[in-house]
Structure formats: structure tokens, C-alpha cells
Structure 1
Amino acid sequence: MTRTAIVVRGGWEGHHPVEATEVFLPYLRAEGFDVRVEDSPEVYADADRMAATDLVVQSVTMSEISDDAVKGLRAAVEAGTGLAGWHGGIADSFRNSADYLQLVGGQFATHPSKHPDELRGDETDNYLTYRVTMTDLGREHEITRGIEDFTLHTEQYWVLHDDLIDVLATTTHPVQPYHPWHRPLTSPAVWTRLWGRGRVFVATPGHSVEVLRDDEVRTIIERGMSWAARTR
């Protein structure tokens, strides 16, 4: 049976939603998904269409969403539709909606920047070299099994989250003399969430297409999409 995936992309252009999602369309098709692309989250309000959807891949940073669309997304996930995404396309979407934030289980708070003397006034101000560390669960989970800890040079997400997520990988924000916080903070970098009969997958790396093409990042996202999709 052919499965259906909806790729929803839009929002802030700084995360290149079209180019970023294009990276993964060949994988989805190779995995047997009939892929449809939407440029608005309002498709979530179409109950019949969502009921026939096995996977939603979302890349919509910030932006806004209607109450009907949020209700539709939540109902679909509860009924078994998978939800997957990366970086701000899922973890910094729809800040106006508490119901959306509860569904995803984690929300971008900031990405610490370089030393003040190194700031240039462009996006590279927030590019740091950091480590993504697998948890014990992550070393056994099908999404991240066999992937060793790895290093990236890109935005390092500081995430606010709840205890209903299953964390597969973390990243730790150190304390620098120019920071106002007083001890290192560990944030989830990859997590899953069970919601009703549905599954949610989030990876926080993915600021640029270059990062998405990193071997470890791409593998994690591809496996995460497959894991999240409805099982029939």
C-alpha cells in the first residue's frame, strides 16, 4: 500500500524551507511515499486529507497558524499521523499557539552567539562548534543506532522542553565569561514523542542546507521521518 506524506513548508526564508525540504523528497519517494507539497499549514484543517496522511514533514519557521489548523494537526497526530521536522521548521514554529508547542514538546529559546568581539552582524554570529552526544536511549534507538557522537559548526539550539519527550541526543551549552548564566546547560538535540497513536520526531540541527547534507544529520532525519510515519 502506498503511503502519503505531506511536506508543509514556508515561514521565515532564512531557513530555506524550499531548498531544505527538497533535500529529503527523493528519500521519501524512494521509501514509497506519495509526496504532496503545501505552502501553508492551513492544510491541517482539512480533516479528510489529514486522516489519509501517514506523515507530515514540516519546515515552517515562526509564522502563524489558525486555531482550526492546530486542532486539525493535533487530531491527526492523535489518530496516528506522524509529524517530523528539523531545526526552526518544527521547534520554532507558531509561537502564538500553546497547543502546538505542547504537541511538539520542545521550543527554541535561543542560540548563543560568539564572543562579543567576534560578532560581524550576520547569521554567522550564532555559528558555534559544538558536540551532539548520543544518550543511552539514542545508542539503542532505531533512529540513531550506530551513529557516534559528532561535531557541527552551526547554530546550537537552546531548547525549552517537557519530560514527555524521549531524548536520543543532547548538546551542552558551556558557560563563558560573557554569558549571564552560571552553569552549563544541556538541551535535547534529537527527540521523539508519542502522542495518542501518533509519533513526533524532532532534530534541532538543520539551519542550512549544508548542515542537512551532513552525513549524521541527514541519516538521523531520514530515519526519523520513517520512524514517525504511521504504521498500518
Structure 2
Amino acid sequence: MSKQALIVRGGWEGHKPVESTDLFVPFLEAQDYDIRIEPSPAVYADAAVMSEVDVIVQSVTMSTIERAELEGLRNAVAAGTGLTGWHGGIADSFRASSDYLQLVGGQFATHPSKHPDEVIGAETDNFLRYTVEMTDLGREHPITRGIPDFELETEQYWVLTDELNDVLATTTHPAPAWHPWQRALTTPAVWTRRWGSGRIAVATPGHSPDVLRNEHVRTIVERSILWVSRTASAS
């Protein structure tokens, strides 16, 4: 039986969910996945469909999820379906659902801005140069092994997380005078999480297709797809 990949995309259009997920369709095809693409999480409520999905690639920023859809997603992951995504498409989905936030293990809180004198009212107001730093675990993990610490200039996600995550990479937010926090804070940038028999992987970089084309970000996403997939977690 062929492997089954489900791409679920939608929500806020600023993250270009269609263009961003389309970047990974050729990779999925090359890995012999049959691909189904859905414009909303409604498919999560279809237990028959979800029982056959090996990996979900989700890109749905904000939006909402119905109770049956969320239960279907949580049940599918617990049964072995892998779940992965990047940036707001997974770490800022379904803000009103605490059960979803518990599942993925991290919630977007903010992306700090530039100095007020540099703010011009554009999305670039929140584009900062920052470093993604591998943890000791990340230097050995299949998703991030061999990837060096690297810099990006894009939104630097500050996420709220818990101790169930296995953190593969972090980023440190400085404490400039124009922001109210008193000291630098390090938060996860890439993490994995086990949920029942399933695996979850989250990468916070990925604001736009150009970020996803970065060599290191793309490698992390592609390896995440393979690592979380049911066929990998069952081996």
C-alpha cells in the first residue's frame, strides 16, 4: 500500500499557505507519497480518511477548528499519524483551542519588532536578524543532524511551550530598551513531541516561501516529514 500524505492549508493568507505547501509537493511525490490536499481542517473529522494518513503537513494560521475535527486530529496522531508544519501554520493555528495547543506543544506569543524609529507599518517591521542554534539533542537528531547554527532575517517567533517537547534548536530574544521584558529569553525554534503512537515536529521559521527556500529551513521541514510519518514511527 502506498504512503498517504495529507496537506491541510488555509487560514490567514499572509503566510501564503498554498504557495508554501506547494513547495513540498515535489518532495512528497519523490518519496512515493500519494497526496491529498484539503482547504480546511474539516477532513480531520473523517475517521476513515484519517486512519489511512501517514503524515499531515499543516499550514493553517489562526482560523478555528470544530470539536469533531480536533478530536479526529488528536485521535489520528495518537494512533500513529505524523503531524508537522512550520511557523504560524502549526504554532499559531486555532488559538481558541487549548486542546490543540496541548497537542502541538507550543503557541505563538509574539514576534518582536525593530526599533520604533525603524517601524514603517509594513510586515518588515518584525523582520529581525537572529540565529537558530542547535541544542545538543539537535546535533544528533535525524531532523537536524549536520545542520549548523544559522542566521535568518525574518519573524523571530517567541513561543510558549512545555517540558514534553524535545527541543532540537532554540533562538534567543534580546531585551532592548524599547521592549518591556527585562532580560534575554531563549525559546524553542524546532522541536518534536510524542503523542500516543504518533510523532509531531514543529519548526518556527517559515513566514514566507523565501524563508522556506533557505537551505537549512527546507532541510528541517523535509526531514520532519519523513521522521514523523507513520512508516517511520512504526519502524
Length-normalised TM-score, structure 2 = 0.98
Q: Which amino acid aligns with 1:129?
A: R
Instruction: Please show how residues 3-152 of structure 1 align to structure 2 within 5 Å.
Output: 3-152=3-152
Q: Deviations over 1:46-82 (max 9, x none)?
A: 0010001000100000000100000000000000000
Q: What is the deviation of 1:146?
A: 0.3
Question: Partners in 1 of 2:42 and 2:163 — Cα distance?
Answer: 29
Residue in structure 2 matched with residue 193 of structure 1 by the alignment = 193
Q: What is the deviation of 1:32?
A: 1.0
Question: Partners in 1 of 2:35 and 2:163 — Cα distance?
Answer: 32
Report the 3-state secondary structure (helix = DSSP H, G, I; strand = E; otherwise coil) of the residue aligned with 1:138: coil
Extract unaligned runs of 5+ from structure 1. Answer: none
Report the 3-state secondary structure (helix = DSSP H, G, I; strand = E; otherwise coil) of the residue aligned with 2:138: helix
Question: Partners in 2 of 1:170 and 1:31 — Cα distance?
Answer: 29
Query: Greater shift after overlay, 175-184 or 125-134?
Result: 175-184
Question: Partners in 1 of 2:188 and 2:32 — Cα distance?
Answer: 30
Q: What is the deviation of 1:22?
A: 0.4
Identity score, percent: 68
Number of equivalenced pairs = 232
Extract unaligned runs of 5+ from structure 2. Answer: none
Report the 3-state secondary structure (helix = DSSP H, G, I; strand = E; otherwise coil) of the residue aligned with 1:136: coil
Find runs of 4+ consecutive structure 1 residues off by over 2 angstroms: none
Question: Partners in 2 of 1:163 and 1:81 — Cα distance?
Answer: 22
Question: Partners in 1 of 2:114 and 2:215 — Cα distance?
Answer: 25
Q: Which amino acid aligns with 2:172?
A: T
Q: Which amino acid aligns with 1:32?
A: D
Instruction: Please show how residues 189-228 of structure 1 align to structure 2 within 5 Å.
Output: 189-228=189-228
Question: Partners in 2 of 1:118 and 1:172 — Cα distance?
Answer: 21
